[in-house]
Amino acid sequence: MPDEQGILVGDAASFVAARTVGVLATADAAGTPYAVPICYDWDGHELWIALDAKPKAVTDVRHLRRVRNILARPMVSVVVQDYLTAAWEELAYVILWGTARIVAPADDGHTAAIARLRAKYPQYQAMPIDQLPAIAIQPTRVSAWGAVGPRADRPATLEADIRGRRSVRRFMAQPVARAQIMRVLEAAGWAPSPHGRQPWRFAVVTQPARRERLAAAMGAEWQATLAQDGEPPEVVAARMAASRERIRSAPALIVPCLYLADLDVYPDAARQEAETTMAVQSLGAAIQNMLLLAYHEGLDMGWMCAPLFAPAAVRAALDLPANWLPQALLPLGYAATDPKRRPRLPLEALVNWD
Ligand X SMILES: Cc1cc2nc3c(=O)[nH]c(=O)nc-3n(C[C@H](O)[C@H](O)[C@H](O)COP(=O)(O)O)c2cc1C
Local structure of 92: helix, strand or coil: strand
From 30, 87, 89, 342, residue interacting with ligand X (rule: CB under 6 A): 342
From 34, 97, 145, 303, residue interacting with ligand X (rule: CB under 6 A): 303
- By CB under 6 A, tell whether 304 contacts ligand X: yes
- By CB under 6 A, tell whether 350 contacts ligand X: no
In the complex, minimum distance from the CB of residue 221 to ligand X, in angstroms, rounded to a whole number? 14
- The dihedrals phi and psi of 347, each to the nearest 5 degrees, come to -55, -35
Nearest to 145 by CA among 326, 1, 337: 1
Tell me the C-alpha distance between 318 and 214, whole Å: 7
Which span (29-37, 125-133, 137-145, 163-171) binds ligand X, by CB under 6 A?
163-171
Which span (38-46, 101-109, 120-128, 303-311) binds ligand X, by CB under 6 A?
303-311
Which span (36-44, 161-169, 217-225, 229-237) binds ligand X, by CB under 6 A?
161-169
Per-residue x/- mask for ligand X, residues 106 to 135, rule CB under 6 A? ------------------------------
In the complex, minimum distance from the CB of residue 102 to ligand X, in angstroms, rounded to a whole number? 35
On the 0-12 / 13-18 / 19+ scale of CB atoms within 10 A, 73 is middle
Taking only Cα atoms into account, the Rg of the chain, rounded to an integer number of angstroms, comes to: 23
In the complex, minimum distance from the CB of residue 328 to ligand X, in angstroms, rounded to a whole number? 6
Tell me the C-alpha distance between 224 and 310, whole Å: 11
Which span (126-134, 175-183, 211-219, 301-309) binds ligand X, by CB under 6 A?
301-309
First to last CA, the chain: 58
Instruction: Evaluate whether 69 touches 99 at the Cβ level (below 8 Å).
Output: no
Closer of 144 and 299 to ligand X (Cβ): 299
In the complex, minimum distance from the CB of residue 163 to ligand X, in angstroms, rounded to a whole number? 9
Which span (6-14, 69-77, 110-118, 162-170) binds ligand X, by CB under 6 A?
162-170
Local structure of 142: helix, strand or coil: strand
Tell me the C-alpha distance between 250 and 176, whole Å: 9
Give residues with Cβ within 8 angstroms of 151, minimum separation 6: 11, 298
E strands, 21-160, are 22-27, 33-38, 41-42, 47-50, 75-82, 92-103, 134-146
For every residue of 39-50, DSSP letters joined together read --EE-SS-EEEE
Closer of 66 and 165 to ligand X (Cβ): 165
In the complex, minimum distance from the CB of residue 97 to ligand X, in angstroms, rounded to a whole number? 35
- By CB under 6 A, tell whether 281 contacts ligand X: no
Give residues with Cβ within 8 angstroms of 6, minimum separation 6: 141, 142
Footprint on residues 222-241 left by ligand X (CB under 6 A): none
- By CB under 6 A, tell whether 54 contacts ligand X: no
Closer of 10 and 284 to ligand X (Cβ): 284
From 110, 118, 120, 169, residue interacting with ligand X (rule: CB under 6 A): 169
Residue 288 Cα to chain centre, angstroms: 18
In the complex, minimum distance from the CB of residue 310 to ligand X, in angstroms, rounded to a whole number? 12
Footprint on residues 305-334 left by ligand X (CB under 6 A): 305-306
The angle, 0 to 180 degrees and rounded to 10, between the axes of the packed helices 233-249 and 208-228 is: 160
Which residues bind to ligand X, rule: CB under 6 A? 166-167, 169, 303-306, 342
